[in-house]
Amino acid sequence: MHLIPCSNLVHLTKDFPGDVRLSKGEQDASCKSILELLVLFAEPETTLTLTVTGEQAEEMAEKVSQFFSNGCILPPP
């Protein structure tokens, strides 16, 4: 993922009180850390695994899934 999609993902997840993580193979990154996301080097068509824990985890997982389905664009406020 490039800088703007990473920044958008951090913006989407930053206020979620639980943990939101993406993994690619053995690599793991917090969706609240732009640096960790950039270090994943997730190119287009890369398979990523999403893990969300905490209250309202299902809602956040759905938001992140929609984020990727919509081309890494944030939904309107």
Q: For residue 77, tell me if it sits in a domain.
A: no
Q: For residue 75, tell me if it sits in a domain.
A: no
* CATH number of the domain within which 61 lies: 3.30.1340.10
Q: For residue 40, tell me if it sits in a domain.
A: yes
Query: How does pLDDT run across 21-48, given as a tens digit for each residue?
Result: 999 999 999 999 999 999 999 888 889 9
Parallel/antiparallel/unpaired status of strands 27-30 and 49-53: unpaired
Q: For residue 27, tell me if it sits in a domain.
A: yes
What was the pLDDT predicted at 1?
Answer: 84
Q: Is the pLDDT of residue 77 over 80?
A: no
Distance CA 42, CA 30 (A): 13
Residue 68 tokens read as 């990727």
Place of tokens 């800088």: 3
Q: What is the pTM of this model?
A: 0.91
Q: Is the pLDDT of residue 76 over 80?
A: no
Q: For residue 57, tell me if it sits in a domain.
A: yes
Domain span holding position 23 = 3-69
